[in-house]
Structure 1
Amino acid sequence: MKPYILLTPGPLTTTETVKQAMMTDWCTWDEDYNVHIVQEIRKSLVELATAHTDEYTAILMQGSGTYCVESVIGSVIKPNDKLLILSNGAYGDRMGNIAEYHGIRYDMLAFDETEQVSVTYVDDYLAHNADITHVAVVHCETTTGVLNPLKEIAHLVKMYGKKLIVDAMSSFGGVPLDVQELGIDFLISSANKCIQGVPGFGFIIARQSELMHCKGVSRSLSLDIYDQWETMEKGHGKWRFTSPTHVVRAFKQAMDELKAEGGVEARYRRYCENHDVLVDGMRSLGFKTLLPDEIQSPVITSFLYPHAGFDFKGFYAQLKEKGFVIYPGKISQADTFRIGNIGDVYPDDFRRLVEAIRSCRY
């Protein structure tokens, strides 16, 4: 049963078969779980991330995507290292907050929320700050829906000999990329985003040669990615602490369904069509997008309030009553709301959404 469709950037609408996969209980010490579910997931994630699978490995971590971002920053950046964070939204800013908590040396290049990270500024900064050792960036900043120029940023980071950390929370599995070709050292994502699983764990795709340098670095027991990886390697899929078994099994089902759909390219095309149908329909009703089309991701779309005095809560309630749940805005400089295009949702769902909005009073 679907009481409503979630049009959010995660948690999102999942298939009935993903939900059904959670109906069985699993023993965390059993081979059927560790070898045939966890290890297969780890292998499949690396295959999803790159054609050069021998250079990378996957680490699964309990908790939300932010747990995984913190685990990477806390496990990778050593006391003598210095991190450069490229931020154009709340999730880039959150990496700065994490660095503060950990006492990590860092600089932040902050950009407007409605613009991409500037490749020119990054080039200039790296040219004049040789002490930077690592660069971190959010691929798709769901604060607004902007898609940052990852290929160009990655090229600069490698040109200057730095290590690259990418928060691909809202893009991995839904926007094509190859971590080896881009030179990404650590990529972070979550179960409940474009792979269309449910919340409960995240994962890191790590370059194995760089992961080896992480032993003993973390100041956190639970968030130590090297220790988690080592236990999974030696224990053939065993987690250090209780794993979210039902969520993990659902994720395997979601991975199988991604493959059946045609892989990342096919899912990307569907998300793009979802976005196009949504934007065309909303513009026909007089709504305006926050971002210009050329920097907009297909993951989530921000719309400006249509007029002064627009009652978002009332609008939200009307849509929920009609079977759709959307997202409030997250930026300070404009009144916006957001509509997610990812999950088990299709162009016809967005055509129905536009008709539902047409009948709303706002």
Structure 2
Amino acid sequence: MYKVMTPGPTQVKENVRMSMVFERENPDIDESFCEFYHETCSMLSKFFNTENEFYILGGEGILGLEAACASLTESGDRVLVIDNGIYGKGFEDFVKMYGGNPVLYTVDYKNTVDVKRLKEYLEKDHDFKYATVVHCDTPSGILNDVESISDLLSEYGIMTVVDSVSASFGNPLSMGNIDILCLGSQKALSAPPGLTMVGVSDRAKEVMYNRKTPIASFYANLSTFRTYYEDKWFPYTMPVYDIYALRTALDNVFDDKDIFERHHRIASAVRKAIVDSGLTLYTESGFSDTVTVFDVPEGISSADIMNIMKDKYNILVAESFDVMAGKVIRIGHMGENCNMSDVFDTLNALENALTELGCDLKCPLGETFMKEIL
């Protein structure tokens, strides 16, 4: 078995895996499951400091992103797509898919969104139904201040859709003025892949329920959950075993009083080791506490680094893709990956791989990490 140190999916704790081995009720018939589901959704509301309702959808995190766009977008709607990363730009496709008119606000992929500059842009043009923004754009490791961004957009009457799949549970976040908050099971929450969780504001519900045209999807239609609890009925069969695993992972998170401080401490130590060794962080500002991304040294192949780490040390890290393919390596330190032992082993393996490939480091990665963390 490999040690999975990628920016998702992450390693899954034993009690989460074991929660899937027990026989469970029929979610279509047994009302006790509807209560369990509702309680689990309420836990999400509590964690993100909101009264807004959450839904758990049967599908990987990207389902939540599409469902948000499908549920809000009508033909011709202008949608502001805040693009400072590959995933940020990716919202453009969903908006187009459902007939909207995406307007890209494209800025530097190495830096977090500057809220003051965004305000200057909005002063000139703010005729948008909603805006999309990514909390942690995982391909680059950029962390955006989505709370401040959503507060700003709300001043102009613009709803906000936030992709926090790769940041939530590792970086602090309150839902606040975010209208649709999209989460995933397989990142810092460290549950199995296959679920997306979506928080929906009353403002977003009102827009969905009072559309001029029907939502052009069934599975990616958030309004189908409108009366699930009152009717004790779901629009499709819920993946009951996955949801029990999710609940156990949520229990783990609530019991972990050190969760955000630990993520920040380990992420900071990883970045310090990377910089002190002479490697270059891809990100210049807005560092996420869930993933570290650094440039592949000149003359070395990202695939060679990954293969040595996998074949010799049984550790999986990740490349990137799209416009960043082959340019960077990504280390996930989120959820169950976010512990000193596994991160130390990963940095040692990385150091050995780079040395084998002819890269001279200024200091040992693992040792530097441990000096910083202790």
Q: For residue 240 of structure 2, what is the amino acid of its counterpart?
A: T
The separation in 2 between residues aligned to 1:324 and 1:284, in whole angstroms, is 22
Which whole-Å deviations, capped at 9, do the CAs of 1:244-270 have from their partners, x for residues lacking one? 2211110000000001111xxx22211
Structure 1 residues 93 and 287, CA gap change in structure 2 (3 angstroms)? same
Partner SS, residue 78 of structure 1: coil
1:104 paired with 2:100, answer yes
Q: Equivalent residue for 1:8?
A: 6
Determine if contact 2:179/2:204 at 8 Å carries over to the other structure. yes
1:189 paired with 2:183, answer yes
Q: Equivalent residue for 2:343?
A: 350
Structure 1 residues 155 and 208, CA gap change in structure 2 (3 angstroms)? closer
Task: Show structure 2 runs of 5+ residues with no match.
Answer: 358-374
Determine if contact 2:34/2:229 at 8 Å carries over to the other structure. no
1:118 paired with 2:114, answer yes
The separation in 2 between residues aligned to 1:142 and 1:195, in whole angstroms, is 15
Q: Equivalent residue for 2:367?
A: none
> Percent of aligned positions with the same letter in both sequences?
21
Determine if contact 1:302/1:329 at 8 Å carries over to the other structure. no
Q: Equivalent residue for 2:198?
A: 204
Determine if contact 2:5/2:333 at 8 Å carries over to the other structure. yes
Alpha carbon RMSD of aligned pairs, Å? 1.9
Determine if contact 1:190/1:201 at 8 Å carries over to the other structure. yes
The separation in 2 between residues aligned to 1:272 and 1:340, in whole angstroms, is 13
Residue 101 of structure 1 and its aligned partner are, at CA, apart by 1.3
Determine if contact 2:7/2:330 at 8 Å carries over to the other structure. no
Question: Mean Cα displacement is larger for which, 87-96 or 351-360?
Answer: 351-360
Q: For residue 243 of structure 2, what is the amino acid of its counterpart?
A: V
Question: Mean Cα displacement is larger for which, 7-16 or 205-214?
Answer: 205-214
Q: Equivalent residue for 1:320?
A: 310
Q: Equivalent residue for 2:261?
A: 269
Determine if contact 2:147/2:174 at 8 Å carries over to the other structure. no
Q: Equivalent residue for 1:281?
A: 273
Which whole-Å deviations, capped at 9, do the CAs of 1:103-139 have from their partners, x for residues lacking one? 1122111122212223234213322224212111111
Partner SS, residue 359 of structure 1: helix
The runs of at least 4 consecutive aligned structure 1 residues that moved more than 4 Å come to none
1:132 paired with 2:123, answer no
Question: Mean Cα displacement is larger for which, 98-107 or 324-333?
Answer: 324-333
Determine if contact 1:277/1:350 at 8 Å carries over to the other structure. no
Determine if contact 1:164/1:185 at 8 Å carries over to the other structure. yes
Partner SS, residue 179 of structure 1: coil
Q: Equivalent residue for 1:245?
A: 240
Which of 80, 89, 92 lines up with 1:93 in the alignment? 89
Report the TM-score when normalising by structure 1: 0.90
Partner SS, residue 330 of structure 2: strand
Partner SS, residue 114 of structure 1: coil
Structure 1 residues 196 and 242, CA gap change in structure 2 (3 angstroms)? same
Structure 1 residues 218 and 34, CA gap change in structure 2 (3 angstroms)? same
Partner SS, residue 183 of structure 2: strand
The separation in 2 between residues aligned to 1:210 and 1:332, in whole angstroms, is 33
Determine if contact 2:73/2:99 at 8 Å carries over to the other structure. no
Determine if contact 1:212/1:226 at 8 Å carries over to the other structure. no
Determine if contact 1:278/1:351 at 8 Å carries over to the other structure. no
Determine if contact 1:327/1:337 at 8 Å carries over to the other structure. yes
The separation in 2 between residues aligned to 1:32 and 1:320, in whole angstroms, is 44
The separation in 1 between residues aligned to 2:103 and 2:243, in whole angstroms, is 36
Determine if contact 1:281/1:351 at 8 Å carries over to the other structure. no
Determine if contact 1:140/1:147 at 8 Å carries over to the other structure. yes
Which of 59, 65, 68 lines up with 1:69 in the alignment? 65
The separation in 2 between residues aligned to 1:213 and 1:7, in whole angstroms, is 40
Q: Equivalent residue for 2:301?
A: 311
The separation in 2 between residues aligned to 1:21 and 1:229, in whole angstroms, is 28
1:156 paired with 2:155, answer no
Determine if contact 2:76/2:99 at 8 Å carries over to the other structure. no
Which whole-Å deviations, capped at 9, do the CAs of 1:282-340 have from their partners, x for residues lacking one? 34443221112x421111111111231x1322321221231311000236367111111
Determine if contact 2:188/2:336 at 8 Å carries over to the other structure. no
The separation in 2 between residues aligned to 1:256 and 1:211, in whole angstroms, is 28
The separation in 2 between residues aligned to 1:235 and 1:173, in whole angstroms, is 31
The separation in 2 between residues aligned to 1:76 and 1:351, in whole angstroms, is 44
Q: Equivalent residue for 2:290?
A: 299
The separation in 1 between residues aligned to 2:259 and 2:328, in whole angstroms, is 27
Q: Equivalent residue for 1:233?
A: 229
Report the TM-score when normalising by structure 2: 0.87
Which whole-Å deviations, capped at 9, do the CAs of 1:178-217 have from their partners, x for residues lacking one? 112xx11111111112222111110111113431331264
Q: For residue 250 of structure 1, what is the amino acid of its counterpart?
A: A
Task: Show structure 1 runs of 5+ residues with no match.
Answer: none
Residue 145 of structure 1 and its aligned partner are, at CA, apart by 0.5
The separation in 1 between residues aligned to 2:132 and 2:116, in whole angstroms, is 16
Q: For residue 298 of structure 1, what is the amino acid of its counterpart?
A: D
